[in-house]
Amino acid sequence: MRHLKYSLAFIAAWAVGTASVQAQHAVWANKIVDVSSQKAEGKEAFSPEKVLGEPDALPLGQISNEAWIPKKEGSAEYIEVKFGRSLIARQVTVIENFNPGSVIKIELIDTRGGKHQVYENRNPGPIPEAFRTLTVTFAPSNYRTIGVGVTMNTKAVNGVNQIDAIGIADVAELMVKQEFKQDPKAVGIDSSMVSLGPKVNSKYVDTHPVISPDGRTLFFARQDHPQNTGGSNDAQDVWYSTLTKTTGDKKIWSEAKNISSPINTTGPNGLASVSSDGNVALLINVYNPDGTLNPKGASLTKRTKTGWTKPEKIDIEDFYNDDNEHVDYYLGTSGKVLLMAVDRKDGQGEQDIYVSFLKADGKSWTRPLNVGPTINTKKAEFAPFLAADGKTLYFASEGRGGYGKSDIFYSKRLDNSWTNWSTPRNMGPSINSSDFDGYFTLSAAGDEAFLVSSRNGIDGSRDIFSIGLTPQFKPEAVTLVRGKVLDAATQKPISSVIHYENLLTGEELGVTETNPVDGSYTIVLPSGVQYGYRAEARDYLSESANLDVTDREKYSEVTQDLFLVPFAVGQKIKLNNIFFAQSKYYLRENSYPELQRLIKILKAYPTVEIKLEGHTDNQGDPALNLKLSLDRVNEVRKYLISKGINGSRITAQGYGDTQPIASNEQEESRKLNRRVEFTVTKK
């Protein structure tokens, strides 16, 4: 059911119906790297793109538009695919949905481009089955698999040969059930719906819950309440409640409060989403100077020491919405992705889901991009919610059939084009019904969801409920990092901007701001990446931190304070994100983002001179440690010079193990002594 003021349905859980292992252990191809021949291109039937994503070529044993067909009949037809994240693989699966038997070789491709053959068939030919799940298992190796190459002798099997999907997993349990039947428990909850109680719910309509990523603050809309800004004639205000206590499985919420001005006015107000740190809120409508609301757009408000700022219009290039009554927005936890459900001329029909990206200026957004026909239909798609993993999309659709007028679906983003998605799956009867159930919101932990239901509400009204989720139906794992940004000299909090990036590629993945009251920050980091993150503020130099969550499979929380060093002569800054091979001096590739920032500083301040200082722990020969520390800082100096920095501005000295900053007794503290620093010697 769509809401005339605004709708923001969030979803509780997800599942891969064909997978019998938990989703975090298996990945399906999301990019075509190379192909020998193709019967069609792009997203057309039989094209190589049809190999991407989960198996979906049904019915099995018949030629399907949803699977790849090589154009030629040859002895060495091949396809190479890439995955969204790397795994230490223990199995590879190739889905031959029609006329199997032609696969002669399967190779794993590691993150350095090396190829490792794990399957060979010297006698290809027809087999009795009409389709086959070709699964190869093997012992884990010391490399991480990022791609797979499949070679086929299609001459040996007469007729059309099709491949539907290619996947890898880091467990030996079979990835795919042979018959591809949907698991009857494809969507499930491990507890019944629980009302949040009279402190949150009222006899009035309580709707549109938005939970902060840390799960501690619940925002929602309350309709026609006497304490709304405009009284009982005020259609809708934003209210909030905070988590005060958790006892076992029971959570106690504070008495809900009206969030008040400037977010609430006498018009219909709604909060669409909140940033990872809870300091930025996305609001429906544009707030005019005279206090009225313009439905043709959205606004952002930021938390200050004294409350929330006056909402400011979001500048979206070429924004318009031909539907005067319906609009949805959702701001991703990275702060760089904005989803919206609007009716535009390039859409499939009625409301479609679009995505817009934050521009380099950090203020305006790109022209809305339609996420494509895999998600959108000729009828309305709305209420988009992107899970904290940045990949799992939940949305409502009126164009796909189901249990009611509109049902909730989920889909996985397969690449960075934002138009390539897995086939949407209905969340099933546990979530969708003929009654009103909707507006799901999910915290970063992914273990609890909140929804609105007309079942068992106070005085028959719509109320907010929570449900627990079974582990296998959660989005991919994320890590929530929180801490404070402090002046390294005074230990006092500093207002700053937090940036986090992929250390392997240098790509900035997200940006947020510290809490203006206490200097705290919160960021959410999806698994599968080694991250670097840092704070930035005027007249300070950053000391970066890093966190490797490449293999993290469960939700976790990390506390990490960040330090800013005054930009002044004599100040020492640790380069925490410079990495070397063990006992070697050559730089690893994930060091380059940190070094590029240092180069940027040196070019912006051409009179600045620095002294690079290298340190080791106390393991091994002290003389060798001294040499290693000097070799390492000389390697850093060499890199800086190669990028245009005059060598006369950089001196280097190695100290070996003579200046520890932590105990050398345990590895956890000993690693802090292995470091590169620089001191500002002239400004």
Task: Write out pLDDT tens, residues 362-389.
Answer: 899 999 999 999 999 999 999 899 999 9
pLDDT category of residue 190 using cuts at 50, 70 and 90 = very low
pLDDT (mean) for 262-281: 92
CB count within 10 Å of CB 309 equals: 15
Q: Is the pLDDT of residue 459 over 90?
A: no
What pLDDT does residue 15 have?
30
pLDDT (mean) for 661-679: 91
pLDDT (mean) for 578-589: 89
What pLDDT does residue 39 have?
77
Q: Is the pLDDT of residue 188 over 50?
A: no
Distance of CA 457 to the CA centre of its chain: 34
Q: Is the pLDDT of residue 314 over 50?
A: yes
Strand order in the sheet with 31-35: 31-35, 77-87, 145-152, 103-110, 115-120
- The type of residue at 504 is L
The rounded distance, in Å, linking the Cα atoms of 356 and 39 is 33
Give tens-digit pLDDT for 384-395: 999 999 998 988
In 3D, which of 16, 170, 23, 178 has the Cα closest to residue 92?
A: 170
Q: Render 571-584 in DSSP notation, one character per residue.
A: -EEE-TT--B-TT-
CB 280 within 8 A of CB 300: yes
The helix/strand/coil state of 626 is helix
What pLDDT does residue 456 have?
67
CB 460 within 8 A of CB 201: no
What pLDDT does residue 438 have?
63
What distances in angstroms separate CA 559 from CA 166, 480, 523, 534, one per listed residue?
38, 9, 11, 14
pLDDT (mean) for 190-194: 61
Largest CA distance in the chain: 80
Give tens-digit pLDDT for 12-64: 222 333 333 444 478 999 999 999 988 777 778 888 999 998 888 777 777 88
CB 110 within 8 A of CB 145: yes
Q: Is the pLDDT of residue 458 over 80?
A: no
Where is average pLDDT lowest: 183-197, 407-421, 531-545, 665-679? 183-197
- The type of residue at 268 is P
Share of the chain above pLDDT 70, in %: 90
pLDDT (mean) for 515-541: 93
What pLDDT does residue 434 have?
64
What pLDDT does residue 238 have?
97
What pLDDT does residue 570 have?
94
pLDDT category of residue 661 using cuts at 50, 70 and 90 = very high
Where is average pLDDT lowest: 423-427, 498-502, 574-578? 423-427
- The type of residue at 392 is T
Q: How high is the mean pLDDT of the chain?
A: 87
In 3D, which of 512, 519, 568 has the Cα closest to residue 540?
A: 568
